Structure 1
Amino acid sequence: MYYGNIISILSSSKERGIQIAETLGKLHENGKIQIYYRKKGNYIRSVLFTPEYPEKILETAESLSLSSIFFLYLPENPSWIDGELALLASSMGIPGYIVTNLSEDKVRKLLKGLTIQNYPIIRDIEEYEGKEKDKGIIYVDRAFVVKGVGVVITGFSYTKVNIHDKFKTIPGNKIIEIKSIQVLDEDQQSVDSGVRIGFALRNAKEEEMKDVKILSTDKIPITKEFEAKVTLYPWSEVHENGKYHLIFNGISIMSELVIEGDKVKVKTPYEIPLADRMIILNVNAKQGKPRVAGFLENPKLI
């Protein structure tokens, strides 16, 4: 059974980002988010890179929220763009590496105050193999019809999936069944966490699936309202009451935030499964201000 992990490359330099990604895998999908793969036995590494950053900040944040580890490249002369990427990495709260030729002292000073301040610094890319934890969900990025097969989705698995397993669509709350499984164009009977997948579905129509972001198991609670601890950066332009993008599990969703001290009450437009960390983005921040406003953690149902 295939299993794997997902790695994000964060780089203000398109050329350097692609170099790092190619060290870890081979390009297979060249869209807004590039996907590189490397297969070793039953292990598959997926590497994500957004070449159009800083324009595509939502896609960059979404790909990071799909990942369990990152490689952050710092150039010789860092700019505000590199600072924003460092904030993004720090907000996600996952392990990572700082890739740079800068001295350790300079890196520590640049990252002072961030959770990634003391992360390992490397010059050469290291091999990394792991497995995504079971979140009880499947991330969905595309839904389309294949003649003779029916509705097909692509995405990433964050739970073990077998043929005939049933899941709930989010949004939509419709129960669908997994009719067949493909990994790297090969038919499978099952797949584990951390793998790029293609599923043919039963009891699904294309128009019902076009807005689906996640498939969820029955064991995962979903909600439209929750409370969490909030951390806001001092320079963020987030008001006590307002609508901002929350990024988690590969999706971004405009949400209402009511902030009281270090606590926040959140309302989302549809029911979602909660994530350990959620990045707050203010895409309308004034020029010169980072769009990464902070993050939520330890969410609880109200």
Structure 2
Amino acid sequence: MRGDMYLSDTAWRGVTVRGASQGSEVNLIRWAVKPLCHMGNLNIAVLGPAGYAKDLGKKGTESDITFYNLKKGEDTVTIIEPTRYPERLAPLFYAASMADAALVVVSEITPTLGEWVLMLDEARVERGYIVLRNYLSPGDVAPLFRGTVLERYEFVEEDPIALRDLLLREAHARISVPPAAGTVGAIPIDHHFNVRGIGTVILGGVVRGGIRKHDTLKVYPGEQAITVRSIQKHDDDFDWAAEGDRVGLALKNVESDDLDRGFVLSDDPAIRTGTTIEARATLVKYWPAPLTAGTVLHLGHWMQFIPARVEAVRDDGDWRQPTLTLALEKDLVYLPGDTAVLHYLEGGKLRIAGHIELA
């Protein structure tokens, strides 16, 4: 057995994978290595009844978020369900943060549907599909979707075979190409584990640029240097990965216990970290009152979900677009120009507050 063969979301049975901050166990399914091929990938969040995605793909990694994998020839789809939602808000954010598109299954109009709409809008998931059930019509949901990204989503029939074909066609249009020389990349970690004979393996998605086998990257926060031993995408060995790819990486010079969900692997010199953020916020239209100093929010960016206390607020006359000074519980890793979603976990039926622009 080759020592550099490890798999991503459908790889391992009986391996303990640390994903959520508590170090939850992850159920990984199988071992199979296929010949190298050229592929594109669609990452899609499925928001609907629990387990809805089981009819669309094969279950892979399972923790507070569950991945399902769909593949036909060179076309691959990574399906993400927020398993521990709605009791926890973070999985909904993670699913939206990782998504290129969303599939929203509407059985009834509820506060939960409203929360899905706000999250997809604040996370800027611009593409998507809507399945209506229980005789709902587009007109029934139009008022809730108006002015959000869901206003541009496509209504589709509830047919698993047709949905799989639709997602594979979308993936086919997203073919990834090898990164050009000098390209830098960033990969937030969503799960990590140790494999006997191989070492540390992480699962994540390439959110910027690209990486190559044997690249030296830094682990943020902290800037520890590591080397990419090998790369896999949907069970296939590759020498590279590009933006939008879901990857499993075998790493040198770092232990799994030294990593956590939300850590970022990158060689991009523009990466920033900090525990104090001053940024312009935009609050959702339903937010009832100005934010005040002392309020504890949670800042969501990539695979990070960090408590952040409001230290100061300056609104210049428009309280829905204040400038906030935030003190974070731990370092935020980001690129200038990124956005981050503001969550208020004590908000009852309104737990999504808005977003900030990171400078």
Question: Would you say same fold, with TM above 0.5?
Answer: yes
Alignment equivalent of 1:58, drawn from 63, 87, 90:
90
Q: In the alignment, which residue of structure 2 is the partner of 1:277?
A: 339
Secondary structure of 1:117's match?
Answer: helix
Cα offset, 1:255, TM superposition: 2.2
- Kindly provide the CA deviation profile for residues 58-115 of structure 1, in whole angstroms up to 9, marking residues without a partner as x: 111111111111112221x322111111211222222222221422221112334544
CA RMSD of aligned residues (A): 2.7
- Extract unaligned runs of 5+ from structure 2: 1-37, 316-320
Alignment equivalent of 1:231, drawn from 256, 266, 283:
283
Structure 1 pair 212–34 and aligned structure 2 pair: CA distance change class (3 A): closer
- Paired amino acid for 1:4: N
Instruction: Using the aligned pairs only, state the percent identity.
Output: 23
Q: In the alignment, which residue of structure 2 is the partner of 1:192?
A: 242
Cα offset, 1:6, TM superposition: 0.8
Secondary structure of 2:102's match?
Answer: strand
1:242-257 alignment runs, 5 A limit? 242-257=295-310
- Paired amino acid for 1:66: M
Secondary structure of 2:87's match?
Answer: coil
Q: Please give the TM-score of this superposition, normalised by the length of structure 1.
A: 0.84
Give yes or no for the alignment of 1:22 onto 2:22.
Answer: no
Report the structure, 1 or 2, having the larger strand content: 1
Cα offset, 1:270, TM superposition: 1.2
Secondary structure of 1:290's match?
Answer: coil
Q: In the alignment, which residue of structure 1 is the partner of 2:143?
A: 109
- Paired amino acid for 2:187: I
Structure 1 pair 140–14 and aligned structure 2 pair: CA distance change class (3 A): same
- Paired amino acid for 1:22: D
- Kindly provide the CA deviation profile for residues 217-263 of structure 1, in whole angstroms up to 9, marking residues without a partner as x: 23333132342342234335772323311112122122234443313
Cα offset, 1:144, TM superposition: 2.4
Structure 1 pair 94–179 and aligned structure 2 pair: CA distance change class (3 A): same
Alignment equivalent of 1:142, drawn from 191, 194, 198:
191
Q: In the alignment, which residue of structure 1 is the partner of 2:204?
A: 155
Say whether the 8 Å CA contact 2:212–2:239 is kept in structure 1: yes
Secondary structure of 1:14's match?
Answer: coil
Question: Matched residue pairs, number?
Answer: 291
Structure 1 pair 112–154 and aligned structure 2 pair: CA distance change class (3 A): closer
Secondary structure of 1:145's match?
Answer: strand
- Paired amino acid for 2:110: S
Q: Please give the TM-score of this superposition, normalised by the length of structure 2.
A: 0.72
Structure 1 pair 141–177 and aligned structure 2 pair: CA distance change class (3 A): same
